[in-house]
Amino acid sequence: MHDTLNRFLFDNTNVRGRHVDLDATWKAALENTDYPAPVRDVLGELMAASVLLIGTLKFRGTLKVEARGDGPLSLVVVQASSERTVRGLARWHGPVPADGDLQERMGENGYLVLTLEPADEGQTYQGIVGLEGGSVASALEEYFVRSEQLPTRIWLAADDSHAGGLLLQRMPDQENQDPDAWDRTVHLASTLTNRELLGLPANDLLYRLFHEEEVRVFDPEYVNFRCSCSREKVAGMLRGLGRQEVQETLDQEGEVRVSCDFCGKAYVFDAVDAEQLFARMSPADGSDTTH
Ligand SMILES: [Zn+2]
């Protein structure tokens, strides 16, 4: 089973978990850009992590996770939605160290920004954490500690064909709970190898790790690569650039071509399209405003 998000819990304990395996979704994210392996792996880990995290939330909307730094790998952005869609991209310049940790790739001052944008009304939430832990998983674990959320452990891996992750979370204690369950399950999960994370279906992996525990695995949810770009959004961006800049590109190129960095889709505006872009902004007919 591919491109799945699995929920599971350990009966009679306060420990729950999520497992994600991205296959076609991950390949779609890699389709338009030839990422070097050390860049690709960080992007894959962040993509798997974002699906795991939004999978733990009772929330309708989008989770954006950005890793930023002044190192050779300068930006990794992933957006995952409560509809189980995800997209992501990375930017880098020069060689990115293959055996360095996350801080060596992204720079000493690198950090993660997590943004939750509700689909309906409601407050956008943002949190920031440094990359001191040296990996995407440890940065996110640190984020959970600092923001005083539920204790959470995360394991992540990516290669050229899969991005996978496992998350364990300790829910608030209730009476008669098994007090050792958290330490025991974390200890068992810590034996997980990248090969298992990237090669085993959820049920096999959970059995291999936790066959001495009573694991209850729920029906999988399916994850898809989906990009939220549109001609309308590109048009808005071009209006923001201003008529003069768009006209200059038209004069030079004969058309304005904008490609989406997430999915590679190209949006082309010719002279007539451009005229319409700005015609709509005229005070006579539009409620559109520009700044
Ligand atoms: Zn797109």
Q: What's the rounded mean pLDDT across residues 72-81?
A: 97
How far apart CA 139 and CA 137 sit, in angstroms, is 6
> Which residues neighbour 154 within 8 Å (Cβ) at sequence distance 6 or greater?
49, 52, 137, 140, 141, 165, 166, 167
In angstroms, what is the span from residue 228 Cα to ligand 1's centroid? 6
In angstroms, what is the span from residue 236 Cα to ligand 1's centroid? 15
What pLDDT sits at residue 175? 72
Ion ligand 1 nearby residues (CB, 5 A): 227, 229, 260, 262-263, 265
- With beta carbons less than 8 A apart as the criterion, state whether 90 and 72 touch: no
In angstroms, what is the span from residue 147 Cα to ligand 1's centroid? 32
* pLDDT tens-place string over residues 113-147: 999 999 988 899 999 999 988 999 999 999 999 98
Structural domains of the chain, with CATH: 4-225 (3.55.30.10), 231-279 (3.90.1280.10)
Mean pLDDT over the full length of the chain = 92
Please give the structure tokens belonging to residue 90: 């990375």
How far apart CA 223 and CA 8 sit, in angstroms, is 17
